[in-house]
Amino acid sequence: MTAAENTTRPGLTRRGFFGAAGVAGVAGVTALSTAPASARPARRTGPASALPAASSITVTDPALLTAVQAASLLQSRRLHPRELLDACLTRTAGHDGDIGGWVRIYPELAYEAADAAAQRLTGSGDAPLLCGLPLALKDLFAVAGLPLTASSHVLDGNIAAGDSTVWRRLRDAGTVLVGHAHTDEFAIGVATEQVGNPWNTDYSPGGSSGGSAAVVAARFVPLATGTDTGGSLRLPASACGITSIKPTFGRCSTHGVIPLTWTRDHTGPMARTIADASLLLSHMAGADVDDPTTTVGPDVPAGGYPIAAKGGTTPLSGKRFGLYRKAVDGLPDALGTLFAAFVDEIRRLGGDVVDITMPVMPADMIVGDRVEMGSFHRQFTDRIGSYRPENAISVTKAVASLAAPAIDYLTTEGNRLRFQHEYNRMFADTGIDAVLVPGAKIDGCERFEFAGISVFDGVTGTVGWANTAGAPVVTTPAGRSAATGLPFGVQIGGRPWDETTLIEITLEIQHARPDWLTAPEIAAAPRDVPRVQVTAPGAGPHPTNTTDVGFGHRFVPTLSTSVI
Q: Which residues are catalytic?
A: 138, 208, 232
What secondary structure letter does DSSP report for 386? Answer: G
Tell me the one-letter amino acid at 115: D
Residue 257 pairs with which residues in a beta bridge?
141
Q: Dmax of the chain from CA atoms? A: 72
Q: Under DSSP, is residue 479 helix (H, G, I), strand (E, B) or coil? A: strand
Kindly provide the b/e burial profile for residues 157-192, where b requires at least 16 CB atoms within 10 angstroms of the residue's own CB. ebbbbbbbbbbbbbbebbbbbbbbbbbbbbbbbbbb
H or E segment to which residue 43 belongs: none
Long-range pairs of 456-460 with CB within 8 A, sequence gap ≥ 24: 456/229, 456/230, 456/365, 456/366, 456/369, 457/190, 457/230, 458/230, 458/231, 459/190, 460/190, 460/206, 460/231, 460/235
Tell me the one-letter amino acid at 495: R
Q: Which of 544, 389, 468 is nearest to 231 (CA)?
A: 468
How do beta strands 473-480 and 352-356 pair?
unpaired
H or E segment to which residue 39 belongs: none
- Sign (positive/negative) of CA torsion 536, 147, 372, 399? positive
Taking CA atoms, 56 is separated from 50, 88, 129, 131, 356, in Å, by 13, 22, 18, 21, 42
Taking CA atoms, 124 is separated from 20, 50, 121, 127, 516, in Å, by 11, 20, 8, 9, 35
What secondary structure letter does DSSP report for 359? Answer: P
- Whether the Cβ atoms of residue 181 and residue 102 lie closer than 8 Å to each other: yes
In whole angstroms, give the CA distance from residue 350 to residue 359. 27
H or E segment to which residue 282 belongs: helix 274-284
Tell me the one-letter amino acid at 399: V
Our measurement of the distance from residue 545's CA atom to the centroid of its chain's CA atoms, rounded to an integer in Å, reads 23
